[in-house]
A and B are shown apart, each in its own frame.
Chain A
Amino acid sequence: MALKRFMFAAFVAFVSSVATIGILGRLSPSPVAPPVAAERRVGRDELARHSGARDCWMAIGGQAYDLTSYLPRHPAPPSVMTRWCGRDATEAFATKGRGRPHSPAARVMLAQYRIGLFTP
């Protein structure tokens, strides 16, 4: 009986939490995209200058990202990511090196690190 009550309470808490997050997420402003004309363009040479673990930029799918602050948070061993610093990592992001794409969650997080367009 106690288990039944606990399960019901947990289920109600779960549905309420999901609904709250969903509603708050929709109500909060989306990050304002800068006007296209003023958007920063990162070329291959500039990208290559940020090729270390302490200053790590990557190009993924035509966008440039500054992933320096994310590196310590990535779950895989550091070398998996640092070897792509300063390079176009589109393929690596799409396959994780073994034919498996990153999750939608990873794509949501990646968007937070975008610094401009990649123009090779």
Chain B
Amino acid sequence: MSTTIQDCGRWAGTLGLAAFLLAALMSVRAPRLDGWFGGLTRQWKIHHVLGAAAFLLLMAHPLLLSFAAAGYSLRAAADILFPGAGAWSVWAGWAALAAMAAFLAPTFSFFGEPEYQRWKSLHALSGVALILGVAHAAALSRAMPGGYWVGAGALALFAAAGRKVWSRALGRRGYVITRLERIGRGVVELSLKPEGRLLRYAAGQFVYMTPLDPDLAAGRGEEHPYTLSSSPDEAVLRIAIKSLGDATRALQTAALGSRVLVEGPYGGALSGRAAVRGELWVAGGIGLTPFLGRARSLAPGHAVDIHLIYCVQDETRAHFMPELRSISARVPGFVVTPHHFAREGILKAEFLRAACPNFAGRDASMCGPAPLLAAARKVLLRAGIPAARIRQEDFTWL
């Protein structure tokens, strides 16, 4: 019995560290590479799940080894966990686990929702945890020569530490803001002209944009992800930006002719794959952008089967409604129905059924604020759409 527990403990350590190294590799951000995993959002979800699995396995690892020794005595079980000061390799393991707990605590909101910059700086501790964990494994590894762990660890560290270097070298290009269209209160759409070659992308993909305008009130030199709202056939990139924080507020008055850096394209959950069945799009507020890009890329006169539910507070916030209506007039089968929270309340099945009687037989895509996504998902699942046929892009991070 205790041998089995001991084996489980060893396997937990081996698999846990392997999952940790894979998670580090998956944190790399490189245009097009993310396509292998179905887009950057999905790639990072895999990174997130691998990280969670690694943490669980690596917590089980010392506990199981200690349980296995409990067959001898309680003292032996405790000595496995806390050996003498000379056993540096065991203490390296503990230090790795402590660092892991420290950098994962904000990720899993152990002590409330973290502030982004604090989360980011604490996440850098992952490198320390990785080095200590690999040292622990290399010293105590049984079946696998320690050098393999060191090699795998170095590769993961190299990939993760250089993630910004790769993404910048591979995908960052200069653009100039040539047009700033005021769509509504607190919403602008920037047109970006490439200094060199235009980015090739699929409708609904997103980029990281870094504004360089020296007169910006906030966010100069800071990168943020934005969905491209333009069609890939256009000569410029377009990005619709709603004032949601300091950086996005400052961009509302960005200077024409100022430079920005654009890195991408990255695949979101809603870009790429075409649906086999008819499509149901549920957009909330500025969450319209990936759908706007796809709607603008629809060829006039070419029939589609898409029903867009555009959810906004009231008609004054339905900023893109006129354009959507004109696309609807040009593209047969592209239907837009506005949903006003002020009048209809939260999105309900009755509303969807009245607007689009066969909605339950469609493939659903959603993007918008979290409460809308949660409500819409519930309605769609209840109507019988399987979870595998519901795609969504979250505004919040994982």
Binding site for B on A (CB under 8 A): 3-4, 7-8, 10-11, 14, 17-18, 21-22, 24-26, 28-31, 73, 75, 100, 103-105, 107-109, 111-112
Contacts and interface: CB of A to CB of B under 8 A. Distances in A.
Given A7-B52, A18-B62, A104-B83, A109 B142 contact: no
A3 B52 contact: yes
Contact of A10 (B2, B56, B62, B109): B56
A92 to B, nearest CB: 15
Nearest to B141: A100
Interface in B38-97: 52, 55-56, 59, 62-63, 65-66, 69, 72-84, 87, 89-90
Contacts of B7: 75
20 contacts: A7-B56, A8-B108, A8-B110, A10-B55, A11-B55, A14-B63, A21-B81, A24-B74, A25-B77, A25-B82, A26-B78, A75-B6, A103-B140, A104-B79, A104-B80, A104-B87, A105-B65, A105-B80, A108-B76, A109-B76
B101 interface: yes
A73 B3 contact: yes
Contacts of A105: 65, 69, 80, 83
Contacts of B80: 104-105, 108
B108 to A, nearest CB: 4
Given A21-B78, A105-B69, A108-B76, A4 B63 contact: no
Contacts of B87: 104
Given A8-B110, A28-B78, A73-B2, 12 more contacts: A8-B108, A8-B109, A10-B56, A11-B59, A14-B59, A24-B74, A25-B78, A25-B82, A75-B3, A75-B142, A105-B65, A108-B79
Nearest to A112: B72
A74 to B, nearest CB: 9
Contact of A28 (B52, B73, B104, B140): B73
Return the 6 tightest CB-CB contacts between A and B, nearest first: A25-B78, A104-B83, A104-B87, A28-B74, A7-B108, A14-B59
A41 B110 CA distance: 56
